[in-house]
Structure 1
Amino acid sequence: MNIAILGAGGVGSYYGGTLARAGHRVALVARGAHLEALRERGLEVRTPEGAFTVAVEAVGDADELRDVELAVVAVKSYSLAEIAPAARRLAERGAVVVPLLNGVEAADRLIEAGVPDERVLGGLTEISAVRIGPGIVERRSPFQRVVVGERKGGISERAERIAAAFREAGAEARASDDITADLWRKLAFIATMSAACGLARTSIGPVRRAPLGNLLIERALREVTAVGRARGVALPEDVEAKILGFVSGLSDGMRPSFLLDLESGGPTEIDDLCGAVSRLGRQAGIETTVHDVATAALSAGREI
């Protein structure tokens, strides 16, 4: 498959490298020192299982690419507007566009930016991957999961083909018949972790040990699932119990990517995590007190 990766950060570079090693033709849209390193030395990929270096096409402008079948959008949610025009142009030339972003609105935002509706699939990934230097990316999580699916539901041949490509690249990947529910399940976990750890400015361990820490986590989680269900999302009855069980098993030092962004002083994805829960909750008439507070406090923190 001819694949373009829009966003050559940790996630984009990692999947670009593994897809290229699996035999797909991959082009990474990058810039600066990372672009130069990719052109000169290729991409070094480090994983818990070992390391490898692979040659990839690297361009500074997506308009240089032709015959792209799949455009994977792998930027932070706050950078989506910047990359959307490139996704639109690739889609207009025949590419299927799959966003692998946090939140539940990336596909809608791409369509609002002019990407043809019929060219956009829903998608998500669960992975910890970091670009640690020009031309070097490291996967730190033991897992690498990708889910893709038609936004209107059902399993399609193109979703199956994309999932198969990621499986060939080593990921645990599947085509979903309800990608909306999958996106909300991920949001329930990541927005909860972002609210709890972000407000406490610490990893999950101290939050769980705090007198009301577990209550905070549970309330944040139930707010997300309540909003999702009010919007007609078919979340399983046991989704809260499963997520709470997963959170209880996390290592004390686990820090969500939102907290890392917050501590670095750079932009965060608050608007597409807690902010989205708060906004969509108001639209649905659902109270989201924890996420309202998190959005207000953590957005204000960006201005200090």
Structure 2
Amino acid sequence: MKIAVMGAGAVGCYYGGMLGHAGHDVTLIGRPQHVEAIQRDGLRLDAPGVDAPVRVTATTDASGVRGADLVLFCVKSTATESAGRELLPFLAPQAVVLTLQNGVDNADRLQAVLPDHQVIPTVVYVATEMVGPGHVKHHGRGELVIGPSPRSADVAAALRAAGVQIDVSDNVLGALWEKLLMNCVYNALSALSQTPYGRLIDGVEVRGAMRDVMEECLAVAAAAGVRVGPSMWNAVERIAVTMPTQLSSTAQDMARGRPSEIDHLNGHVVRKGAELGVPTPANRVLYALVKINEARMQNA
């Protein structure tokens, strides 16, 4: 299968690396410092059972998606529409696009930009990090959940053969909200404290704060008619066990002085809660604190 990864950061390089290691023709589209290293040395995939360079194509240009059967769309949620417009002139008619992103509405937003292509919403649970130019390190998990479509079975088979755990779900919106809940619980707290999940959860009153955020997310989801799984607190605690060394993507963005996706995480819950008449004070405080820190860093 010919595969392109739009937004080859930590998530995109991990899944692109796994597919390239399995023998697929993979093109990574990413930032210059990573592209130059990958062009020179290959992508270093540091994961269980694999710590070796993977030969893939790398480019900074969206034309790298030309001819791809499958596109892994891994850009920040803030760039969904702009990146989609970059891809549009080069997408093959048969191309399937998976949205490996945080947030719950990226597939709908991208589908509006790519009305003639098949866009499949995707939920990602993986802990990864770019530890150097062209070097992706896997910290834990790695499973995907995708929505149903005429091509979902073929896509899932290719990913499973590459060692990726993947499920096709008829309730992918519920799965997206479950992931949104996890991000709302962990991301801002990890960012504001610059603390990985394993240590974060045992901080003073942190579990209580996490429960407050979780309950608000569940209330907003229920008001929106979204069905999520039971025992979400057990799932919250499991994140700290399965990804103990992971700093949230928001924490990584904040440490590098980059804008985060907080508008599409706690910010989304705050806006949706206001729309549905559901109070979200805990999410509002975390959202406000991250935005204050982003503004401070941008003005420094």
When the two structures are superposed, what TM-score results if normalisation uses the length of structure 1?
A: 0.87
Distance 1:206 1:111, change over 3 A: closer
Give 1:77 deviation, angstroms.
2.1
2:164 match: 171
Q: Distance in 2 between matches of 1:49 and 1:255?
A: 23
Distance 1:117 1:295, change over 3 A: farther
Cα deviations by residue, 1:239-287 (Å, 9 ceiling, x for unpaired): 4343244257568765323223223332211111110111111111111
When the two structures are superposed, what TM-score results if normalisation uses the length of structure 2?
A: 0.89
2:37 match: 37
Cα deviations by residue, 1:145-165 (Å, 9 ceiling, x for unpaired): 111113xxxxx3411211222
Distance 1:207 1:18, change over 3 A: closer
Amino acid corresponding to residue 11 of structure 1 in structure 2: V
Bigger shift: residues 53-62 or 101-110: 53-62
Distance 1:63 1:251, change over 3 A: closer
1:106 match: 106
1:159 match: 152
Q: Distance in 2 between matches of 1:25 and 1:98?
A: 17
The 3-state SS of whatever aligns with 2:271 is helix
Give 1:202 deviation, angstroms.
4.0
Distance 1:45 1:197, change over 3 A: closer
Q: Distance in 2 between matches of 1:97 and 1:49?
A: 28
Answering whether residue 227 of structure 2 is matched by residue 234 of structure 1, we say yes
| 1:208–1:214 Cα contact (<8 Å) kept | yes
Amino acid corresponding to residue 25 of structure 1 in structure 2: D
Q: Distance in 2 between matches of 1:248 and 1:63?
A: 39
1:271 match: 263
Q: Distance in 2 between matches of 1:201 and 1:131?
A: 17
Gap runs ≥5 in structure 1: 151-155
Gap runs ≥5 in structure 2: none
Distance 1:207 1:17, change over 3 A: closer
Q: Distance in 2 between matches of 1:87 and 1:115?
A: 9
2:121 match: 122
| 2:111–2:117 Cα contact (<8 Å) kept | no
| 2:127–2:246 Cα contact (<8 Å) kept | no
| 2:13–2:28 Cα contact (<8 Å) kept | yes
Identity %: 32
Q: Distance in 1 between matches of 2:240 and 2:24?
A: 39
The 3-state SS of whatever aligns with 2:75 is coil
Q: Distance in 2 between matches of 1:58 and 1:253?
A: 28
Cα deviations by residue, 1:187-229 (Å, 9 ceiling, x for unpaired): 111111124444555445355441x332211110011111112
The 3-state SS of whatever aligns with 1:291 is helix
2:147 match: 149
Amino acid corresponding to residue 171 of structure 2 in structure 1: D
| 1:91–1:119 Cα contact (<8 Å) kept | no
The 3-state SS of whatever aligns with 1:229 is helix
The 3-state SS of whatever aligns with 2:79 is helix
